[in-house]
Structures are given as structure tokens and as C-alpha cells.
Amino acid sequence: MTLSPERIAYLAQSRIPEIIACNCALIVIATAGLLVRIFVRIRYLTGLNFDDVLCITSYIFTFVLCFTAMWMTRYGFGKHIGTVSSMSARSMFLKLDFVTMLAYVLALGAIKISFCLLYLYIFPGKKFRIACWCLMAISIGETIAETLVVIFQCWPVHKAWDATGLVEGHCVDMETFYYINFGIKLATDLALFTLPIPKLIQLKMTVGKRVGLVMMFSLGLLVCVASVIRVTYMNSFSVDHTWSMVDTMNWSCIEVAIAIFIACIPSFKSLITYRFPALKRLLGFSSDDSRGPSKMYGDSTRRTYNGLSTGRNSIKMKTMTGHSISGVQTTAHGSQECIIHAGIHVTTDVSVNDVSV
């Protein structure tokens, strides 16, 4: 059959370079953020916590997602379906697409749970912690439900990558599921990333520092923006899906990679503070030269009670409620409580009375 020049030009279109460039950049960004986070946690803090483990888990699934998206270009992804004549190639494309769906769900679920654990490490307050636990439970439930839907979207399961249409069975309408799930997920994402803002606004510190912390935690809203953009590109994948899926896939990768990098941003401040002091002064980060890393970072999760003993000095403090990563340090002018985790440190003055021995 003779093809018209327009048809030839149409089939010659390719978005493969865009797919490769996008996913390579995202892998680099997510890797850089995670390496900085791990370095800071091991070098300046007490080691990896469970939220760091979940961040690493999310990175692994994100890497699988981005790498698989690039590997799919070998089987027609980024080109029109008319150029993929082999049924085996189409079947492999569908198998790899199945992998990306699972990787996306697990990567996003792991990093959202990591954010919840980070909040629990940092912020005190019974109501806040209850809200945080509820959000974490919802996130876990969402992740489990989405994973099961993806795995059993077709019955038998292997019908999901049947390119011939010969396998008998039935499949759910994944497009409808994604739209319904998007509404639920967006609501929980907004709640997750706005949850700490009231706590930050109430901190007793200079306006500039308070605004900086609010902006840092608000960066999580970029994940919501990416999610909204992603859903606008969703369409029926039944026709020319090797071409029409490109935007949706790219924004899926962007969404999880951004989430990982944002979760690692607090560690960059610690890296700059202790590795690049000149850059620290240039950026105007707060400085306290009298305290080294070992003094600045608390080494345990604990509550503060009356009669707290610190080495040779015995001090008495008013009962402090709440649960946080904290370190208490005495000086000639009083003391400061440092609430620190993964590079976030907020200092608030507390009264201390010396107890004679």
C-alpha cells in the first residue's frame, strides 16, 4: 500500500529524544538530592531513620519508573502505533507499561509516608500528631489499594499485556479509576503539604526565617501542581497509546522525582553550612560558630522533664510537652532548645535555673 507524504511525515514523528532527556535529568536530580540527604544524615546526624529508608525506597522505584520509560522506547514508545508492526513488540510495550504503573504507585506512596514520618520527628502537639498519623494511614491505604487495582486490573492478570486481544477475560476501566483516584489523592496531598504550615507560622523567630521555613515546606505543593498537570494529559490509551502516553508518563516521572528532591532539600542547608561556609555567609544563613555539628544536633528522640541532667551541670527546666528531636545546651546567658532533623533546626529560648551542688 502506497502511503501519502502526509502519512509518511506523520509516522516519522518521534518524541524519543524528549523522553530520554526528561528521564535522565530526573534521575540526576533525584540522585543528587538523595545522596546529599544520606551524607548529611550519616555525617552530621545520628544515622538513617525510617523516613530516610522510605525515601531511599521511593528513589529505587522512581529509578525503575524512569529507566523503564526510557527502555520502552525500544518497543515503540514515543512513536506512533502504526510504526510498531510486531505483536511481540507491542506486547513487551504493554508489559513495561505495567511495570511503570506499579513503580509510580509505590514510589509516590513511599515518599508521602516518608513526609509523614518526618513531620512526626520534628513537630510536637497531640492534635498535630493525630492528624499526621491519620494522613499516614490514608496514604498507606491509598498505596495498597492502588497497587492491588494495578496488579488485578485484568483477569486473568496477563490479559493486561495481551496485544493480540485473543486472551479471554475482562479489564477494569483504568482511565475512570485514575480520574476518581486523582480527586482523593489531590485532597490528601494538599492536606499533607499544608499540615505543618500553621506550626511554622507560630514559631517565635524573625519574620524572614519564619517565611523561609514556610516556603521550604510549601515546596511540596509543587507535587500537587505536577499531579494536576499530569491528569490533564490523561486520555484514552486504546488508540495510538505509544504516542499519546508520552506526556502522562513524563509528568508521572516528574511528580515522583520532584517529591523526592523536595524531601531532601532541608539537607542542602546543612551541607552548605558545614562544607561551604563562604556560600553560607553569601546566602545569609544563620550562624553560630560556638557550636559544632556534634553540639548542634541532638542524638536521640526524647521528652524534656524537670531536673534534666546534662553532664557536669544540673539544670532545672519547666516541663516541656511534645516529642521532637532535641538537644539542650547551656551557656552563660541561658540555654536554647534545638529542634533538629535532617538539616532543619529551629531554636527557641527557654528559661534555665542553676541548681547548686
Give the model confidence (pLDDT) of 175-220 as tens digits.
Answer: 888 888 888 899 999 999 999 998 888 888 788 778 888 888 888 8
Q: Are residues 134 and 265 in the same domain?
A: yes
Contacts of 239 (CB under 8 A, 6+ apart): 81
Q: Is the pLDDT of residue 102 over 70?
A: yes
Each as own residue / partner, the long-range contacts of residues 330-337 (CB below 8 Å, 24 or more positions apart, any chain) are 331/290, 337/304
Shared domain for 234 and 346, answered yes or no, is: no
- Same domain membership, residue 155 and residue 93: yes
Domain residues for the domain of 68 are 13-277
Poorest-pLDDT segment among 28-32, 82-86, 191-195: 82-86
Q: Do 83 and 173 lie in a common domain?
A: yes
Residue 161: which of 283, 226, 75 has the closest Cα? 75
Does residue 228 share a domain with residue 344? no
Same domain, 341 and 302: yes
The candidate with the shortest Cα–Cα distance to 87, out of 171, 10, 161, is 161
* Chain mean position to CA 199: 21
**283 occurs within a structural domain:** no
- For the chain, where are the E strands, in sequence order? 154-155, 170-171, 301-304, 309-310, 313-316, 320-331, 334-341, 344-350, 353-354
Domain-located, residue 6: no
- Whether the model clears a pTM of 0.95, i.e. scores above it, the answer is no
pLDDT of residue 178: 85
**Alpha carbon distance 123, 73 (integer Å):** 45
Residues 218-248 pLDDT 10s: 888 999 999 999 988 886 555 788 998 999 9
Q: What is the pLDDT of residues 336-345, one digit of tens each?
A: 333 444 445 4
Residues 74, 105 within the same domain = yes
Alpha carbon 211 to chain centroid, angstroms = 22
Residue among 179, 163, 14 at smallest CA distance from 90: 163
Question: Is the domain of 228 the same as that of 125?
Answer: yes
Distance CA 207, CA 212 (A): 8
* Sheet with strand 353-354: strands edge to edge: 309-310, 313-316, 353-354
Which domain-ending residue is among 228, 243, 277? 277
* 57/32 same-domain check: yes
Mean pLDDT of the chain, nearest integer: 80
Phi, psi (rounded to 5 degrees) for 122: -90, -50
Q: Is residue 7 part of a domain?
A: no
Number of domains in the chain: 2
Q: What are phi and psi of 344, to 5 degrees?
A: -95, 125
pLDDT value, residue 154: 93
Last residue of some domain: 277, 302, 334? 277
Strands 320-331, 309-310: pairing kind: unpaired
